[in-house]
Amino acid sequence: MKKYAIAIHGGAGTLSRTLMDSNKEQMYRQGLEQAIQSGIRILENEGTALDAVEAAVAALEDNPLFNAGRGSVFTHKGEHEMDACIMSGIDLAAGAVCGVRQIKNPIKLARCVMEKSEHVLLAASGAEVFAQVHQIETMPEAYFHDALRYEQWQQIKNSTQTALDHNLPSEKKFGTVGAVALDVTGNLAAATSTGGMTNKQFGRVGDTPIPGCGTYANNHTCAVSCTGHGEYFIKATAAYDVSALMEYKIISLQDAAELVIHQKLMSIGGEGGMIAIDKFGNICMPFNSEGMYRASYSPEEGLRCAIY
Ligand code: ASP
């Protein structure tokens, strides 16, 4: 049997166990399982890693439990500005969008930028016009309005504080979503999508849509999708750093990913985690926060789903 594997995340942070009951936990697990199944179906039918990560991320974007697409957090202005990136390990092709509004699935727009433009990253209104031209689905503002996210924003909107979705005191939902996959032809891909951080200044862009920071894929090494306090992941060039450590220091995926999350990021105060997969289908999902919503699947290991 040819090897394939996939991993997804739904954000990392201070996922307080006291605020989590078994019902809620079940809902999160179901959300993760549904999303990973959409990726698995593609991979088991010999589809591409790129299609699999896009499908898994789009499913998470449609689920209001997660801070991406429909469930995106509020900016300081009380709006939703979303970032997303997709990258193919075959040729380092990448597509990304940042600060987009009313796009139902920012990850689909990122894929469209990758395939139908000569650019890598389109921002705000330029990306929205591009979306219109390519008939990418939009939704009215009300689709993105979520009562609990609104309540989270109310708690800090009068300050200059920004917060990871999952670190708010009344934390009920958790963040950013991502997927990494290896397909049967040996190709790797990564995708990440987010509403960013609650109460962020409008125009703020995190690590998610920046290839090498929140998202990276290279068939020679690995595919990576990050979640956490984006400013630190940008400073650490976190996703690419895992690949560079593997390529130049010849260390394993696990050693490289753990070094970045537990040493490099922690030494500068960066909180969060990542999911990563190498060309052999090895998966690792380190985080330095209390928890990270995550799931993985390979025919050998079966489905695994965890929060803490
Ligand atoms: N990394 C995202 C950002 O800073 C947030 C998150 O992962 O929850 O925009």
Tell me: the pLDDT tens digits for 38-94?
999 999 999 999 999 999 999 999 999 999 999 998 888 888 899 999 999 999 999
- Summarize the confidence of residues 118-143 as an average pLDDT: 97
36 Cα–ligand 1 center, Å: 20
Look-up: residue for tokens 């450590």? 245
What are the backbone angles phi and psi of residue 262, rounded to the nearest 5°? Answer: -90, -20
* Residue 139 exposure: Cα atoms within 13 Å on the Cβ side: 16
Query: Cα–Cα distance between 87 and 187 in angstroms, integer?
Result: 11
Residue of the CA atom closest to atom 9 of ligand 1: 196
Chain length of the chain:
308
Confidence band for 198, pLDDT divided at 50, 70 and 90: confident
Mean pLDDT for the chain overall: 92
Query: Cα–Cα distance between 161 and 275 in angstroms, integer?
Result: 27
Q: What is the pLDDT of residue 113?
A: 98
In this model, does residue 12 exceed pLDDT 50? yes
- Summarize the confidence of residues 18-30 as an average pLDDT: 85
Which amino acid appears at position 146 of this protein? D
Cα dihedral 159, 164, 170, 175, rounded to 10, equals: 140
Q: Is 176 a catalytic residue?
A: yes
Residue of the CA atom closest to atom 7 of ligand 1: 227
